[in-house]
Structure 1
Amino acid sequence: MLVLSRKVGESVMIGDQIELIVLGTEGDTVKLGIIAPQEQRILRKEIHLAIKEANKEASDSVAKIGDLSKFMKKNI
């Protein structure tokens, strides 16, 4: 993990196209601005993890339906 200290108004570059800017702080909250190409998907981590979990559950459900279909074909 890379740990950096930045002041309000300072930024960090991620590659050549993504800039992360410290906009301000309020108590223990940091406000960040992100400049990135429009096609770059940017999500809060908790949203990213929720989507990953939902996709896994959907994939597992499809696999179970496939298994059930194979079982039914063999037993009909």
Structure 2
Amino acid sequence: MLIITRRPGEKIMLGDDVVIEVMEVSGNSVRIGIAAPRSVPVYREEIWAAVKEENAAAASVDVTQLPDDVPVVAGKANRR
């Protein structure tokens, strides 16, 4: 892990396309701004973990056990 010190207004570059700027430091809180291409997903860690957990749960669903009126997505045809 790289650990660096930045002050408000200073930036960090991740490659050529992602810029992280320290916006404000107040007590134990740091506000940052992130400029990244739309193709780069940017999530808070707890949101990313929840998304991964939800995706894993959805991937483990047995579609043969769903009621006939529940639409099936992700390339699978409805069983109607």
Gaps in structure 2 of 5+ consecutive residues: 66-80
* Aligned residue pair count: 65
Gaps in structure 1 of 5+ consecutive residues: 69-76
SS in 2 for 1:53: helix
Residue by residue over 1:2-41, the C-alpha shift from the partner in whole angstroms, topping out at 9 and shown as x without a partner, is 1111011111000100000000112111000111112221
Aligned to 1:7: 7
Residue by residue over 1:33-55, the C-alpha shift from the partner in whole angstroms, topping out at 9 and shown as x without a partner, is 11111222111110000000011
Larger radius of gyration: 1
For residues 8 and 16 of structure 1, the distance between their equivalents in structure 2, rounded to whole angstroms, comes to 21
* Identical counterparts, % of pairs: 35
For residues 40 and 2 of structure 2, the distance between their equivalents in structure 1, rounded to whole angstroms, comes to 22
Aligned to 1:49: 49
SS in 1 for 2:46: helix
For residues 36 and 55 of structure 1, the distance between their equivalents in structure 2, rounded to whole angstroms, comes to 24
Q: Which amino acid aligns with 2:47?
A: I
For residues 11 and 4 of structure 1, the distance between their equivalents in structure 2, rounded to whole angstroms, comes to 11
- TM-score, normalised with respect to structure 2: 0.73
